[in-house]
Amino acid sequence: MGTLAAGTQAHSAVSSTTEPLTPIWHPSPNFGARRDGLTPSLIVLHYTAMTSAHAALERLCDPACEVSAHYLIGSDGTLWQMVSEENRAWHAGAGEWYGQADINSRSIGIELDNTGFHPFSEPQLTVLEALLRQISERWSIRPKHVIGHSDMAPGRKSDPGPRFPWQRLEHLNLAGQRSQSTPQSVRMDSFRALAQSAGYTADANDDTLLAAVRLRYRPWGKGPLEPADLAPLAE
C-alpha cells in the first residue's frame, strides 16, 4: 500500500466539536457488507499496539492481514478513515455484547495509536470525543454501547487498555455511566448477574470476567472479588 506524502494532508485538528470532521480517506480492501441487514448500534474502541500510526495504517490496509477498522486516530490527532461506516470492517472478531454476536456487523471500529502502556494524548482524545459525538448522532448509538474491545471479548483482548480514560468519556456522556450505588452482596453470582445486565454476556470464567470488568472500571484492582468491583455495575 502507498504511504502518505509528508505535508500533503492536513491534520484533522478540532477547534469545535460541532464542526464536521474531515478524515483523511485511506481505503482498506478489508471489509464487506454488514450481514442480515444490520446497521451500527455499537462503537468499539481499540489500541493499535504498534510502533506508529503509519505502521498501523499499513497493516489495517494490507489484504494479507485481513484486519481493518473504520477509523484510526494518531497520537497527534490525525484522523484517517479506512472503511465506510455503512460497511462491515474486520476489527472485533469473536465476542458478544448484550447477548449479540457478530460484533463487526453491529459496530463501528475506532483504532487509537497507542501501545497500551502510555497515556492517550490530548489531541487524540479531543478528536475521539468529536468523532464519538458525530457517529453516535448519525446512528443513534447510546452511550452504554460505546465499549472497549476487552468488554466484548473478555480474556482474548485487553484494548483500549488500563490507561484509557473511560471516566472522561462518561463525564461527557459519551460512554455508559458507572453506578455509584453500594452493592448489597459481595458474591460471585451477584457480580456475574450485574455484569451480564451491564452487557458482559460473552462466555468467560469468573476470573476472566472479573479481569475484564476491572479493566474497564478499576484497572488497578487486584486479588479476590471485593465490593468496589460490584459498585460500578450495581443498579
Grid cell for residue 89: 470492517
What is the DSSP annotation of 44-63?
A: EEEE--SS-HHHHHHHHT-T
Active-site residue among 58, 66, 86, 111? 111
Grid cell for residue 30: 478489508
Q: Which amino acid is at 186?
A: V
Q: Do the strands 87-89 and 42-47 form a parallel or antiparallel pair, or are they unpaired?
A: unpaired
Q: How far apart are CA 210 and CA 55, in angstroms?
A: 33
Beta bridge partners of 44: 109, 147
Give the neighbor-by-neighbor strand order of the sheet with 42-47.
24-25, 79-81, 71-73, 107-112, 42-47, 146-148
3-state helix, strand, coil in the chain (%, to 5): 30, 15, 55
Look up cell 459481595; give the residue: 186
Q: How far apart are CA 48 and CA 58, in angstroms?
A: 12
| Whether residue 111 lies in the annotated active site | yes
Contact 80, 24 (CB under 8 A): yes
Residues marked active site are found at 111
